[in-house]
Amino acid sequence: MAQKIVKSVQSMVEAAKREIEEIEAADAVKLHGHHDVVLVDLRDPRERERDGKIPGTFNVTRGMLEFWIDPQSPYYKEKFGEDKKFVFFCAGGLRSALAAKTAQDMGLRPVAHILGGFKAWKDAAGPVEEGEPGPGKKR
């Protein structure tokens, strides 16, 4: 029997966006470098290598987010225990909406995500560094 998917990604993103703070990329650029804000890059290492990165971001792949946020997890990262605002972004703003909602549901506050993700950041003339090649790769 074929699987019957009853909830689409789009409906999940739309539901998340109703409950989280969304920040326009131009406004996120203004937050860059603030001591009380952590920009959290959810893109995987290959995306950062290929497309570049925002200087000073905290990188976590989407698949490890919950484990890094939970202080009871063996993978917990102290960065998520800091009294700061966590602004998530991905390539286009879909994964980050889901991540911000998940983080908020776990109790992390305040959180937000960047509308349009890294692409919108670049379009808003936010600072971008060239990505670094992974181990064993040359540029």
Domains by residue range for the chain, with CATH:
20-123 (3.40.250.10)
- The backbone torsions φ and ψ at residue 87, rounded to the nearest 5 degrees and listed phi first, read -115, 110
Q: Per mean pLDDT, which range of 20-24, 44-48, 67-71, 128-132 is the poorest? A: 128-132
Q: What is the mean pLDDT of residues 16-27?
A: 98
Look at residue 134 in the predicted model and tell me its pLDDT.
64
Q: Kindly tell me if the per-residue pLDDT of 113 is higher than 90.
A: yes
pLDDT tens for each residue of 62-100: 999 999 999 999 999 999 999 999 999 999 999 999 999
HSE of 79, CA atoms in CB hemisphere, 13 A: 17
Average pLDDT over residues 106-112: 98
pLDDT of residue 132: 74
Asked if residue 139 has pLDDT above 60, the reply is no
Report yes or no: 69 and 78 within 8 Å, Cβ to Cβ: no
pLDDT tier at 131, thresholds 50, 70, 90 = confident
pLDDT, position 136? 61
pLDDT, position 104: 98
Calculate the average pLDDT of the chain: 95
